[in-house]
Amino acid sequence: MYGLGIIKGMAITMKHFVATYLDDLRWLTNGGRYYNDEALLVRQSLKGQGAITVFYPEEKLPVPERFRFVPFLVTDEPAAGQQWGQDWCTSCGICAKVCPPQCIWIERGKQPNGRPKPEPEKFFIDIDICMNCGLCAEFCPFDAIKMDHDYELASYDRTTAHIHDKERLSKPISYWREIAPKKAEAEASARDFVKLAKERRKNKKGGEASGQEERMEEAKARQLVYRGKLY
């Protein structure tokens, strides 16, 4: 029959229309379908039914650990009475070299005698240029630069707010543990492992072949943590 295809299509549209209301009824006694974190998660999962819209900004989807947005610099916890903690960054420049759009500027610190100090004097990221690729965090050997989860960076004036300096970029390690607990833990254990292996090697002074083996083991562990299951 001519027109049957259209009617069939309409039936599917009708099904979608009804599904949303049915889902509404289901959540009626559980805090409602909207503005309810639990309902939002179900709506966005494989079990979601009907309209899947998220009412941003009233509702916000949680982002996964690996989510990456403009980077930040990791510091120690600030000591009592101080605003900033010790930088983890050693200003080795790997992030600036690997950055595809070249949005990272680092001024390496100088000791009084003029030799380089492993600490950044200044650190800038132009977030207008940053493409959020995450390569800086991926290749930082000191876990000192990490990708942030704060994606609400819109501002009225790009000329004043969009070059992030060291103050704006620095965030304590506790913040990283909060937004990416599993990743932070894995990285911490890798650092511990490397530290332990180094100490053991030092104590063993004359060890010839075993040192090599350890180093390999260490590299493997690092590899696993950074690239494998735990990440």
What single-letter DSSP state applies at residue 127?
T
Q: Pick from 39, 99, 127, 186: which binds another protein (CB under 8 A)?
A: 99
**108 is a contact residue toward another protein (CB under 8 A):** yes
Give the rounded distance of the alpha carbon of 211 from its chain centre: 34
Footprint (CB under 8 A) of another protein, residues 167-206: 182
Peptide bond into 112 cis (omega under 30): no
Identify which of residues 81 and 141 has a Cβ nearer to another protein in the complex: 141
The structure tokens listed for 46 are 């494989």
Q: Distances from the Cα of 76 to the Cαs of 57, 173, 174, 189, in angstroms?
A: 32, 6, 8, 17
**Helix 209-227 × helix 181-203 angle, to 10°:** 170
**Considering the complex, what minimum distance in angstroms separates the CB of residue 231 from another protein?**
5
CB of 95 to another protein, least distance (A): 9
Cα 68 to the chain's mean position, in Å?
5
Partners of 56 in beta bridges: none
* Closer CB to another protein, 205 or 229, in the complex: 229
Minimal distance, residue 138 CB to another protein, in Å: 7
Residues that bind another protein (CB under 8 A): 2-6, 8-9, 11-13, 16, 41, 44-46, 48, 52, 63-68, 91, 93-94, 96-100, 102, 104-108, 116, 122, 124, 126, 128-129, 131-135, 138-139, 147, 163, 182, 219, 223, 227-229, 231
